Amino acid sequence: MAWFNKDELKKFIRKNNSVLVVWDVQEALVSSIFNREEFLQKLKELISAARQYNVPIVYTRITPLPERFQPPYMRRTFNPGDIVKDVYPQEGDVVLYKNTASIFVGTNFELMLRNAGIQTIIFTGIATDIGVETSARHAQTLGYLPVIAKEAVSSSDKEAHERSLANMNRLMLVLENNEIIERWKSS
């Protein structure tokens, strides 16, 4: 059970105050998720709607620090690859290179949001239980309205994905694509 009124919060989702975050949809990660085809279809649907309603799109891309400067527990070779071609950024989209599980740490994302008057962050991508949840919680702590597009997030661990969605649903909006798109359409 949520501690807030979901219908009241939905009113804050408008095309002129939203950003769509496409979190780490990179080749190695997409190939490891449990629902690849369904995920990509729903992500494409939301990206298409964002373009239609002129909602800015910010892609994140894992960019490890040089090995010497990585935390010891993260010193391993991992190449996540490029953003998958099915949802590749287009002209006008932003690609944010980051090296933490929060979109706010080590980036100018918060400054970009303030400059653009954005208050609502729609989160999509991989992995629900790692970077998506971490960034959404961080966004909420900073006073933004995080919205999880539950059909357009995924993980390699289905149980962790479902547990993360259940946790976030108690704290913030976790919505289907049609609910998000309808808010953009009517605003």
Write out pLDDT tens, residues 35-85: 999 999 999 999 999 999 999 999 999 988 887 887 777 666 667 889 999
Write out pLDDT tens, residues 86-134: 999 999 999 999 989 999 999 999 999 999 999 999 999 999 999 999 9
What total number of domains does the chain contain? 1
CB under 8 A, 24+ apart: contacts of 111-117? 112/58, 113/19, 113/144, 116/19, 116/56, 117/16, 117/17
Task: For residue 110, give its domain range.
Answer: 6-186
Residue 1 lies in a domain: no
Q: Which CATH number belongs to the domain containing residue 140 in this structure?
A: 3.40.50.850
Give the pTM: 0.94
